[in-house]
Structure 1
Amino acid sequence: MNQMKTIEAYGELTEAATFTIQRLLPGPIERVWAYLTESDLRRQWMAAGLMEMKAGSQFELVWRNDELTDPPGQRPAGFPEEHRMEGRITELDPPYKLAITWGNTGGVSFLLEPKGNDVLLTVIHRRLPERAIQLNVTAGWHMHLDMLAARLAGKTPTSYWDGWSRLRAEYDRRLPA
């Protein structure tokens, strides 16, 4: 398979309950790593939360998706203004790998690989329990990574919630029922 096609493609369920998505991001790798691990940078594309860079350390992530873009778009019914989740670092190999627990839905691994001046980021989210959660999480990762790519490229990301809603509908068509 053509590597660029893989990088540009939507994420996919690589196993029944495992979602994998990739983005080719402007480097260097240390900069992308900082956007994954430093609260002030991570909150610009996903969620705030201090992380002690040590395997076994616990942290809390705080999402305020309405604050990611201006305007934020229409938040779907049932989504709170703020969401909090506790996690723990399970693997750490700076600046190449960060693996964390993800609330009660399993774990997430962030793998970074230098590709010339760019960095290939692979996100693997394991143990997504049911279709409704899978659709929310797949649309969320896709939109958050689009926001990360825009921030790293110095561009203004599109409306978070409008993009998320569009992507959730698209993943509903793409993922097996």
Structure 2
Amino acid sequence: MNDINAGFGTLIAPNTLRLQRSLPGPIERVWHYLTDSDARGRWLASGPMDLRVGGDVNLVFHHDDLSDVQVPTPERYRTEDGCHHQSGRITACEPPRLLAHTWGEADGTSSEVRFDLEAQGDRVLLTITHSRLPDRDALLSVSAGWHAHIGILIDHMEGRAPANFWTTHEALEADYAQRLPREAAA
């Protein structure tokens, strides 16, 4: 199993988180996991992406299905249909090195997430930068969420069974609350 405490994300501005991980390559494989609905659905969220600047992004998160280990969804994250829906628009797309899109347009928060891929021999450095986070609660949830999701991605890419998303997320959110300054995203 992936070490959930590996590589905590860091603040690069009061409302911007950066998280980096080394993934098994080649870069086209990592790009596939970012852009293909079925592959992305195994670690993050399924749904269509119109891979052009201005194209729609519609993500459907099935967090309970990311692992065979079943744990109830925390009350604050429960939804009527058991899923979380996220929409946005592509702001940058340069296959297979860069993908960026807005995040949360439907709920009015509209932050932005950017994925940069850099080939490093037989590995790929993935850098996720999530900016314009509206407040500390969003920053903590997003920090723990990306950290847990990337751990699940690495587990899939390396042939391991991933841990339960919610168990991992809750532990990481508590860790990030201690690590990130109180004035972050204020």
TM-score for both structures, normalised by structure 1: 0.93
Corresponding position of 1:112:
117
CA RMSD of aligned residues (A): 1.0
Corresponding position of 1:175:
180
User: Which secondary structure state, in structure 2, belongs to the residue aligned with residue 20 of structure 1?
Assistant: strand
Query: After the TM superposition, which residues 80-119 of structure 1 pair with which residues of structure 2 at under 5 Å, given as runs?
Result: 80=78, 81-103=82-104, 104-119=109-124
* Contact 1:72 1:160 (C-alpha < 8 Å) held by counterparts: no
* Contact 2:57 2:101 (C-alpha < 8 Å) held by counterparts: no
Corresponding position of 1:38:
36
* Contact 1:65 1:72 (C-alpha < 8 Å) held by counterparts: no
Once the two structures are superposed, residues 31-63 of structure 1 have per-residue CA deviations (whole angstroms, 9 ceiling, x without a partner) of 000000000000000000111221111121000
Deviation at 1:160, TM superposition (A): 1.0
User: Which secondary structure state, in structure 2, belongs to the residue aligned with residue 108 of structure 1?
Assistant: strand
User: Which secondary structure state, in structure 1, belongs to the residue aligned with residue 20 of structure 2?
Assistant: strand
User: Which secondary structure state, in structure 2, belongs to the residue aligned with residue 21 of structure 1?
Assistant: strand
Deviation at 1:73, TM superposition (A): 2.2
Give, in whole Å, the separation in 2 of the partners of 1:12 and 1:74.
Answer: 29
Structure 1 counterpart of 2:27, which letter?
A: I
Give, in whole Å, the separation in 2 of the partners of 1:72 and 1:92.
Answer: 35
Write out the 4+ residue segments of structure 1 that deviate beyond 2 Å after TM superposition.
Answer: none
Once the two structures are superposed, residues 116-174 of structure 1 have per-residue CA deviations (whole angstroms, 9 ceiling, x without a partner) of 00000000000111111111110000000001111111111111111011000000100
Correspondence for 2:132 among 105, 127, 130: 127
Corresponding position of 1:4:
none
Q: Percent identity?
A: 44
Corresponding position of 2:3:
none
Correspondence for 2:150 among 145, 148, 154: 145
Higher mean Cα deviation, 152-161 or 118-127?
152-161
Query: After the TM superposition, which residues 23-34 of structure 1 pair with which residues of structure 2 at under 5 Å, given as runs?
Result: 23-34=21-32
Give, in whole Å, the separation in 2 of the partners of 1:42 and 1:25.
Answer: 15
The alignment of Structure 1 onto Structure 2 pairs a total of residues equal to 170
Structure 2 counterpart of 1:106, which letter?
A: S
The gaps in structure 2 that reach 5 residues or longer are 1-5
Q: Does 1:66 align with 2:64?
A: yes
Give, in whole Å, the separation in 2 of the partners of 1:169 and 1:66.
Answer: 20
Greater RCO, 1 or 2 (C-alpha within 8 Å, sep 6+): 2
TM-score for both structures, normalised by structure 2: 0.89
